[in-house]
Amino acid sequence: MPDVTWDFTGKVALASGGASGIGRAAATAWLAAGARVAILDQSAERLEETAAALGGERLLTVCGDVTEVADCERAVDETLRRFGRLDVLLNAAGIGGIGRVWELDPLVWDRVLAVNLRGTFLLTRAATRWMVEHREPGRVVNIASTNASVPTTGHSPYCASKAGVVAFTQVAALELAPRRVTVNAIAPGPVDTNLTAPLFAMAGARDAFLRHIPVGRIGRAEDIAQMILFLSSAAAEWVTGQCFYVDGGQSLVALPPYIDLVEQLLGVAPAGAPIC
């Protein structure tokens, strides 16, 4: 990665999904830049491993579910109790689910929308309430996806949830701009994370996706973390309500039909359970 220097000394950031993937990459980058960081994740095991790898006095781990109001409010409360302030929120928790519309289990639809969209709303609500009440400037960064605007088969709940994240980002940006809180989204393309690991583990999947990425490689979580650092910094003070594509050019050429690719690689129809 290019050597870009950021200074977050004195700043406090909270990231959902912070024990893996993009959330953990952002937490790592913030810590390296001097910030104090809280991470919210539903996996106690991943939190323990992350704390062992990154831990120190500037890291707080909170176990909870972003779909639960109480857990989101507790994450903010524990962050404030430990660090005394909250400057940046990253909504990176997310899951996917596979299935064609007429075959999709409604429970899969509900869970994907709950984590990806409801969770983004609930944690933003809890974090920005403190920012507004204390008249503190703040940054909110939401992880959307290129699938918010580039549809692919078998991914209707994921595509719908991420399109919702973009729309929510725009409305929240309008409402919070007078309070000096910016709200932006990032739309990653295919990135090596725990979410995509089951797909990329299938023989031939990585090559199939590479054919649709002009820069010629799958993204890394650190690629997205660099944009997160910019949007959560003072340099982005005049940027709000935007969705930034960080995808190696993938959105310019679209993706292969997702469910058709999976069926081709597996030789069978995939199960519809959420991927997390």
Q: So which residues are the catalytic ones?
A: 158
Beta carbons of 13 and 90 less than 8 angstroms apart: yes
Query: In this structure, how many other beta carbons lie within 10 angstroms of the beta carbon of residue 202?
Result: 14
Which residues are CB-contacts of 111 (< 8 A; sequence separation ≥ 6)? 95, 97, 274
Would you list the DSSP string of 87-146?
-EEEE----EE-B-TTT--HHHHHHHHIIIIIHHHHHHHHHHHHHHHTT--EEEEEE--G
Amino acid identity of residue 272, one-letter, is G
Structure tokens at 165: 């994240």
Distance between CA atoms of residues 187 and 231, nearest Å: 13
What tokens were used for 237?
């003070």
Q: Give yes or no for a contact between 272 and 93, defined as CB atoms under 8 angstroms apart.
A: no
